[in-house]
Amino acid sequence: AQTVTQSQPEMSVQEAETVTLSCTYDTSESDYYLFWYKQPPSRQMILVIRQEAYKQQNATENRFSVNFQKAAKSFSLKISDSQLGDAAMYFCAYRLRSGSRLTFGEGTQLTVNP
């Protein structure tokens, strides 16, 4: 069974600074997707970024980028120029290409200090 681990229950960052959230996963498969979702206090789960495992290039979406290390089964999220609106719970998730379910980590609560 696939598992996703987020070892940082809480992180904090100063506004305008950079922060990196960690995620590791365990799978014996080679073809899968990885995601970062953001869940603000409103509880709506919002897609931040996705990465296809067969792509070597790390995904980037504006201030958000990932460091995907397939051999190490590591998938970290870097948030640059942090903004107050980035404060939320961040979840790392895995999905097998041929599967249906998303498997989520336990989440990292990010606080952005003004």
Partner 1 sequence: DAGVTQSPTHLIKTRGQQVTLRCSPKSGHDTVSWYQQALGQGPQFIFQYYEEEERQRGNFPDRFSGHQFPNYSSELNVNALLLGDSALYLCASSLSYQRGGPGETQYFGPGTRLLVL
Binding residue for partner 1 (CB under 8 A) from 25, 36, 75, 91?
Answer: 91
**What are residue 52's DSSP bridge partners?**
33
Stretch that binds partner 1, among 11-19, 20-28, 67-75, 94-102 (CB under 8 A): 94-102
CA distance 6 to 76: 10
In Å, how far are 26, 48, 58, 101 from 76, measured between CA atoms? Answer: 14, 12, 10, 21
State the nearest-atom distance from the C-beta of 17 to partner 1, in Å.
Answer: 26
Token pair for 79: 């948030």
CB closer to partner 1 out of 6 and 82: 6
Which residues contact partner 1 by CB under 8 A? 4, 33, 35, 37, 42-47, 50, 91, 93, 95, 97, 99-107
